[in-house]
Amino acid sequence: MDPTCLSWSNSISSTIPTTCSTKFLNDNTPKLTLPFRVLSLKRSSKQHSPGLQKDPKKDLSRILRTEAAIKGVKNKVDSWKNKQLWPKAVLEALDEAIKGLRWQAALKAQFLALGVMGFLGLTVGFIEKEKKYVIHNALLWGLGTDLKIFALLRKQRWYEPRCHTYAKLLMMLGKCRRPEEASYLFEIMLSDGLKPTIDAYTALVSAYGQSGLLDQAFSTVEDMKSVVDCMPDTYTYSILISCCAKFHRFDLIEPIIAEMSFLGIECNSVTYNTIIDGYGKAGMFEHMENSLMDMVENGNCQPDIFTLNSFVGAYGNAGQIDKMEKWYDEFKLMGIKPDIKTFNTLIKSYGKVGMYEKMKFVMDFMKKRFFSPTIVTYNTVIEVFGKAGEIEKMDKEFKKMKHLGLKANSVTYCSLVNAYRKAGRLDKVNSIMRHVENSDVVLDTPFFNCVISAYGQLGDLNRMGELFLAMKERNCEPDNITYASMIQAYNAQGITEATQKMENMMITAKESFGTRKTLA
């Protein structure tokens, strides 16, 4: 790749068509005048005349009141008496949970919602309906300890079911690999009197497909065809193709394309990019390039920044730097310019093969072209140097990142801890933990697995045990990696009693998970 060929671009985004939700069961519940939105309620950015400027203290006061109200919502989720909470606070709390993929926090409120309604003197016709709600709620309540905010939302007197809300939650559950919960949520949506939309069905297809339940995903697509105004569209099939590619079921892609053609549904850039990305990640480079040719010959859609990033990522991940640079230049000739993701991918690819000079060149080029490095950029560089054992260079990049005002996240800290663990630097691991304790970083199970493994391998079993307890306090569920790391550490020290205890806990956790799946 000729360094002079590097250039910048505006990211090209693909817009997913949305559909309106509709109700087909209309009870006598009073209608809301306030429109319900799950999307975050952004504050106005309109400019005001100099004589009417808002007092910044009032804006700050409003923000603090909103944040306090959201916190109040989270504190009230276990109560059955809160039915008149501030709508904005509940909606923003729900939106916050969805954005953070905290599926348990997002849902529990939904499943608590109608537990009381059957006892409120409703008509006989509604009692049977509410029994279904209670059954669903009881089952789903048992699937997690923090399924809260959505149920709280459903309890509010001003609440009106919206298919769009369910679609967002279903999509979130798909990303969190919770197909059973998604299936029950879909049933509850029907019980709410809502006619499912294309978006809701597509989200359910995604929830099944993302977890490898391809039979259920295909079955859901067939169900869509029997519902009026719910025929699967290009986006639905693109999701299905993506799931097939993810689980290397490339034999199913051609039949899907054939079915789309039969139904008169044309492939668009999203469809082709999905196929190209799938082949690329699987290392099927010939198929990837052939799909690009099909895309160009189609005439209705052209390669874009997503196509470029798929090619660069595929060859870069495989260590085929020459091919990566060749296709980078090819796409430049097509008039497609790189974005920040392209540069991050180039940096990672060069770093994996130890080409640090080229990695530095890309970062310098970004600076010249006014591309600000993101946390992803620095996480990539820190990981590269950490895996290579270049501790000093890694520390230098970490300091540079902090100097620029970028906040480290759990990925950053995991890379640092792993590098220090390999170098046997317990003092450095302790230093990182002090950083974490003094920050507001959101910790997750992979982070705890990382530090538990580090302290276990470095022989500090007391600290390892403390972190295991802290993990539960932070509502991060231990997984097989957690237990395996601790068992390995105890075995290395010959502490058989602790080893047996961990093994029993792991067995209990597996049995508990199996019970939840049976309920679902």
Per-residue confidence (pLDDT) for residue 506, from 0 to 100: 86
Per-residue confidence (pLDDT) for residue 15, from 0 to 100: 40
- CA 346 from centre of chain: 23
Per-residue confidence (pLDDT) for residue 450, from 0 to 100: 95
**Cβ-contact 367, 357 below 8 angstroms:** no
- CA 183 from centre of chain: 19
Q: Distance between CA atoms of 55 and 246, rounded to whole angstroms?
A: 52
Per-residue confidence (pLDDT) for residue 472, from 0 to 100: 83
Query: In degrees rounded to 5, what are phi and psi of residue 265?
Result: -100, 120
Look at residues 23, 92, 22, 27 and name the one whose alpha carbon lies nearest to residue 62: 92
**Cβ-contact 140, 111 below 8 angstroms:** yes
DSSP label at residue 137: H
Per-residue confidence (pLDDT) for residue 368, from 0 to 100: 87
Per-residue pLDDT of the chain (520 residues; tens, 9 = 90+): 655 455 444 433 344 444 433 433 344 444 333 333 333 333 334 444 333 344 444 444 444 444 454 455 445 544 444 444 444 444 455 455 445 544 444 444 444 433 333 333 333 333 344 444 444 444 334 333 334 556 666 666 656 667 887 888 888 888 888 888 889 889 888 888 888 899 999 999 999 999 999 999 999 999 999 998 899 999 999 999 999 999 999 999 999 999 999 999 999 999 999 999 999 999 999 999 999 999 999 888 899 999 999 999 999 999 999 999 999 999 999 999 999 999 999 999 999 999 999 999 999 999 888 888 999 999 999 999 999 999 999 999 999 999 999 999 999 999 999 999 999 998 999 999 998 988 888 889 999 999 999 999 999 999 999 999 998 888 888 889 999 999 999 999 999 899 899 888 888 877 665 544 444 4
From the CA atom positions of the chain, what is the Rg in Å? Answer: 26
Q: Distance between CA atoms of 306 and 328, rounded to whole angstroms?
A: 12
| pTM for the full predicted model | 0.69
Tokens 């290395």 belong to 492
Q: Distance between CA atoms of 53 and 260, rounded to whole angstroms?
A: 55
Per-residue confidence (pLDDT) for residue 78, from 0 to 100: 47
**Cβ-contact 281, 314 below 8 angstroms:** yes
Residue 106 is encoded by which pair of tokens? 């997002």
Beta bridge partners of 195: 22
Per-residue confidence (pLDDT) for residue 153, from 0 to 100: 61
Per-residue confidence (pLDDT) for residue 271, from 0 to 100: 95
**Cβ-contact 173, 181 below 8 angstroms:** yes
* Angle formed at CA 13 by CA 10 and CA 17, multiple of 5 degrees: 155
Q: Tell me the C-alpha to C-alpha distance, in Å, between residue 343 and each of 12, 330, 360, 380, 496.
A: 15, 16, 11, 11, 49
Q: Distance between CA atoms of 439 and 508, rounded to whole angstroms?
A: 33
Q: Distance between CA atoms of 446 and 414, rounded to whole angstroms?
A: 8
Q: Distance between CA atoms of 80 and 234, rounded to whole angstroms?
A: 43
Q: Tell me the C-alpha to C-alpha distance, in Å, between residue 165 and each of 171, 197, 250.
A: 10, 11, 32
